[in-house]
Chains A and B, each alone.
Chain A
Amino acid sequence: MAEITFSHISKRFGKYEVVRDFNLTVQHGEFVTLVGPSGCGKTTTLRMLAGLEEPTSGDILIDGRRVNDIPPQKRDLAMVFQSYALFPHMTVAENIAFGLKLKGVPRSTIVEKIDWALKLLTLQGLDERRPRDLSGGQRQRVALARALVLTPKILLLDEPLSNLDAKLRLRMRAELKRIHRDLRSTILYVTHDQVEAMSLSDRVAVMHEGSLVQVGTPLDVYRMPENIFVAGFIGSPAINLLPAHLTGKGNDIFIAIESCRFAIPERLHGACRPYLEQDITLGIRPEHIYDIRFTQGALAYTATDVTVDVVEPLGDRDIFEVTMAGISLAMVTDATGSAYPGMKLTIVFDMEKAHLFDRNSGNNIFV
């Protein structure tokens, strides 16, 4: 266990500032995921913590100690590379033993640890194989085993599941959670897959173009995205972002999309007032749009008519692509098979769960 602090970290490669003013503290034993689209600087941030890149400015602290000038081999952390980076001339067992040998761990303990890791990652019987004779999933697990046997204070994982097939990825996700619970290492995890980020982490740190845009528990980030980027990035299927206009009439505030109007709940009026009669972006998640046939009447005043374009059945639920006044949007329903393409549908927006974003800054006006 260890506490990690990034303090005003920036990194430039020539002209390009790939990480800018990055601040984050990861608590003892916490599982934090850096998530963002490719090229957002998350891997660079991880590499700076590992000591493989030097920050252009700012400090990195591990347990309160500045580590900027400490070489990677002295930072007492383990990292799993996206590419696995297995040593091709060594067997699986030799690969796993590599770090232990360097630490001067006695031979008998090494053997024990290798057995433990092989069992944990269901690699039994492969210890004498070479990396080239392993499948992608096996290589990935060997890379993980090689890091885990060190029982590092800090474990860095760079897209470790990206090369696995869907089924194995799900299993490894659960496996990682269990390993984290058992070892209590501080884990910093990098992924571009927001589902992975949500399902694994204690906290999610969303990065965009080198900056940290929001940090919070998966639920917080999902429920209260601070800006339009986070809203669009977190959640699957992706949130609907619709151009809208705010209008007031007496004591009511409406959001108008083309000819459709949706009333804003009263508790949010305060935040809306400065934006009255302005263009704004409405963000509403597909799971917060309901078919009126399956809802109680309470929300009916925000109903509108749409046409179903596409139905994507997922088994337990359906995704509908619908057209509302010429605008296309997605909705999710667990009433599977309740609609077909071309069908007219009356839908309801759950405005309690909707977000409004400033057109210029992209910030969520409810935050």
Chain B
Amino acid sequence: MVVILFLVSAPLFIMIKYSISDRSSVVTGGAVIPLWPHQPTLEQFRGLATMDRFAYSALASLEIALLAVAISLLIGAPAAYALVRYRFPGIMVLATFLISIRFFPDIVSVVPITETFITAGLINSIIGVALVHSLLSIPYVLFIAMGVFEAIPRDLDEQAQVLGAGKLYSFVHVVLPVALPGLAAAAIYVFLLSWDEFIFAYFLLVFGDLSTLPVLLRKILSWTPQHNLLAALSVMLSVPVIIFTFLVQNYMRTGAAAGAVK
């Protein structure tokens, strides 16, 4: 337990420590690096905040993540609903096929995808990265959303239909609102996946000016290995992850379908 705790917290500690280290605590000229910085400072964060490339990348990351959320939910949620509600032959084969991209290591699919995107003129663009991130997310969205829809009693759609609603109306006005908290969890998951994703974003953006935050981290790493600045960037990368994790937990707690049946 202690070992695990140490293994988990040590890198976090080092990251945070470096991010607030002053220069003399990093460049020690051969002396041992102190356990806690001599003079803790927010200098690096200030530096990041005034750095154009950081702001652009953060904005790009945000746009890509939001686009990925929108695309993967728009495609994934209705697909999951169809898979859950309509039984037709070969449904398991179809479901397996839809999540099959996750069977391969990312590094295997990155080359053919980059190749295709170059031909399609989708590299160095926000939409390109968002599309790839959607592709990566859809299996997860499908998986989560299928669970969400399965938990919604079929009686609800049927009741809506008997009361005069068409299939689309009952999906939009009855099923979707009930599914919302569950789908929000899926959305946050997609957001985080896109926010953290490196390999695909790197391949698609490596030769252009556009960067997501992880790609920017890599680009800075290759030019000026300035530990404390990198650490500060890493912290900035992690903060949304922590915030959203708390949000997810809050959403998970609300029982959406409570009171629907019996």
| A and B physically associate | yes
Whether A81 lies near B159 (C-beta < 8 A) is yes
Contacts of B164 in A (CB 8 A): 73, 99, 102-103, 150
Taken together as a complex, chains A and B put the C-alpha atoms of A332 and B6 apart, in Å, by 78
Give, as a whole number of angstroms, the nearest-CB distance from B135 to chain A.
31
Taken together as a complex, chains A and B put the C-alpha atoms of A132 and B256 apart, in Å, by 10
Contacts of A77 in B (CB 8 A): 162
Give, as a whole number of angstroms, the nearest-CB distance from A81 to chain B.
5
Taken together as a complex, chains A and B put the C-alpha atoms of A86 and B162 apart, in Å, by 13
Whether A79 lies near B159 (C-beta < 8 A) is yes
Give, as a whole number of angstroms, the nearest-CB distance from A148 to chain B.
12
Give, as a whole number of angstroms, the nearest-CB distance from A70 to chain B.
12
0/1 string, B19-37, CB within 8 A of A gives 1: 0000000000000000000
Is B260 interfacial (CB-CB < 8 Å)? yes
Taken together as a complex, chains A and B put the C-alpha atoms of A81 and B159 apart, in Å, by 7
Given the contacts A85-B153, A87-B174, A133 and B259 also touching, CB distance less than 8 Å? yes
Whether A81 lies near B163 (C-beta < 8 A) is no
Given the contacts A73-B166, A102-B169, A84 and B161 also touching, CB distance less than 8 Å? no
Residue of B nearest to A53 (CB): B158
Whether A83 lies near B155 (C-beta < 8 A) is yes
Given the contacts A89-B178, A99-B163, A83 and B261 also touching, CB distance less than 8 Å? yes
Contacts of A271 in B (CB 8 A): none
Is A275 interfacial (CB-CB < 8 Å)? no
Is A130 interfacial (CB-CB < 8 Å)? yes
Contacts of A99 in B (CB 8 A): 163-164
Taken together as a complex, chains A and B put the C-alpha atoms of A355 and B174 apart, in Å, by 53
Taken together as a complex, chains A and B put the C-alpha atoms of A279 and B156 apart, in Å, by 52
Whether A88 lies near B260 (C-beta < 8 A) is yes
Contacts of B165 in A (CB 8 A): 73, 98, 102
Q: Which of A81, A98, A132, A147 contacts B155 (CB 8 A)?
A: A81
Contacts of B262 in A (CB 8 A): 83-84, 136, 139, 163
Residue of B nearest to A162 (CB): B262
Is B47 interfacial (CB-CB < 8 Å)? no
B216-262 contacts to A (CB < 8 Å): 255-262
Whether B259 lies near A150 (C-beta < 8 A) is no
Contacts of A130 in B (CB 8 A): 259
Taken together as a complex, chains A and B put the C-alpha atoms of A250 and B260 apart, in Å, by 68
Given the contacts A81-B155, A83-B155, A98-B160, A132 and B166 also touching, CB distance less than 8 Å? no
Taken together as a complex, chains A and B put the C-alpha atoms of A84 and B155 apart, in Å, by 8
Taken together as a complex, chains A and B put the C-alpha atoms of A134 and B260 apart, in Å, by 10
Contacts of B174 in A (CB 8 A): 87
Is A210 interfacial (CB-CB < 8 Å)? no
Contacts of B260 in A (CB 8 A): 83-88, 131
Taken together as a complex, chains A and B put the C-alpha atoms of A85 and B162 apart, in Å, by 11
Whether A88 lies near B178 (C-beta < 8 A) is yes
Taken together as a complex, chains A and B put the C-alpha atoms of A163 and B160 apart, in Å, by 21
Taken together as a complex, chains A and B put the C-alpha atoms of A103 and B165 apart, in Å, by 9
0/1 string, A144-167, CB within 8 A of B gives 1: 001100100000100000010000
A26-79 contacts to B (CB < 8 Å): 50-52, 71-73, 77-79
Q: Which of B161, B178, B259 contacts A139 (CB 8 A)?
A: B259
Whether A72 lies near B256 (C-beta < 8 A) is no
Contacts of B40 in A (CB 8 A): none
Contacts of A81 in B (CB 8 A): 155, 158-159, 261
Q: Which of A51, A71, A86, A102 contacts B259 (CB 8 A)?
A: A86
**Most chain A beta-carbon contacts within 10 A, residue among B153, B160, B161, B259:** B259
Taken together as a complex, chains A and B put the C-alpha atoms of A79 and B163 apart, in Å, by 8
Taken together as a complex, chains A and B put the C-alpha atoms of A131 and B166 apart, in Å, by 23
Residue of B nearest to A80 (CB): B159
Whether B169 lies near A85 (C-beta < 8 A) is no
Given the contacts A73-B161, A73-B166, A85 and B259 also touching, CB distance less than 8 Å? no
Contacts of A102 in B (CB 8 A): 163-165, 169
Taken together as a complex, chains A and B put the C-alpha atoms of A75 and B174 apart, in Å, by 20
0/1 string, A85-103, CB within 8 A of B gives 1: 1111100000000110011
Contacts of B255 in A (CB 8 A): 132
Taken together as a complex, chains A and B put the C-alpha atoms of A20 and B99 apart, in Å, by 42
Taken together as a complex, chains A and B put the C-alpha atoms of A102 and B168 apart, in Å, by 13
Contacts of B155 in A (CB 8 A): 81, 83, 85
Q: A50-B158, A79-B159, A87-B260 are in contact. List 18 more A-B contacts (CB 8 A).
A: A50-B162, A52-B162, A71-B161, A71-B166, A83-B153, A83-B155, A84-B261, A85-B156, A85-B260, A87-B159, A87-B160, A88-B178, A88-B256, A89-B177, A102-B163, A131-B259, A150-B163, A156-B162
- Show 27 A/B contacts (Cβ-Cβ < 8 Å), sorted by A: A51-B162, A52-B161, A73-B161, A73-B162, A73-B163, A77-B162, A79-B159, A81-B158, A81-B159, A81-B261, A83-B153, A83-B261, A84-B261, A84-B262, A85-B155, A85-B158, A86-B259, A88-B259, A89-B256, A98-B163, A99-B163, A102-B163, A130-B259, A131-B259, A134-B259, A136-B262, A139-B259
Give the top 7 A-B pairs by smallest Cβ distance, nearest first. Answer: A132-B259, A131-B259, A83-B261, A99-B163, A85-B155, A85-B159, A102-B164
Using a CB–CB distance below 8 Å, which chain A residues touch chain B? 50-52, 71-73, 77-79, 81, 83-89, 98-99, 102-103, 130-134, 136, 139, 146-147, 150, 156, 163
